[in-house]
A = this chain, B = another copy of it.
Amino acid sequence: MSKKIITVSREFGSGGRYIAEQVAKRLDYEYYDKAIIARVAEETGLSEKFIEGEGEYAPKQHWFTYAFVGRDQQGLSLGGRMYAAQRKIILDVAEKESCVIVGRCADDILSDREDCLNVFICGDLKEKTERITKMYELSEKEAQRKMREVDKKRSLHYNYYTERKWGDARNYSIALNSSQIGYEKCIDIICDLAGQ
A: which residues have CB within 8 A of B?
Answer: 11, 117, 120, 122, 167-170, 172-177, 180-182, 185, 189, 193, 196
Known contacts A120-B169, A193-B185: A176-B174 contact under CB 8 Å: yes
A173 touches B180 (CB 8 A): yes
The 3 closest A-B pairs by CB, nearest first: A169-B175, A175-B175, A169-B169
Q: Which of B170, B172, B173 contacts A11 (CB 8 A)?
A: B170
Residues of B within 8 A of A189 (CB): 189
Q: Which residue of B lies closest to A120 (CB)?
A: B169
A172 touches B170 (CB 8 A): no
- Give the residue among A120, A175, A182 with the most B Cβ atoms within 10 A: A175
B169 touches A172 (CB 8 A): yes
Q: Which of B169, B176, B177, B196 contacts A122 (CB 8 A)?
A: B169
**Distance in Å: Cβ of A24 to nearest Cβ of chain B:** 20
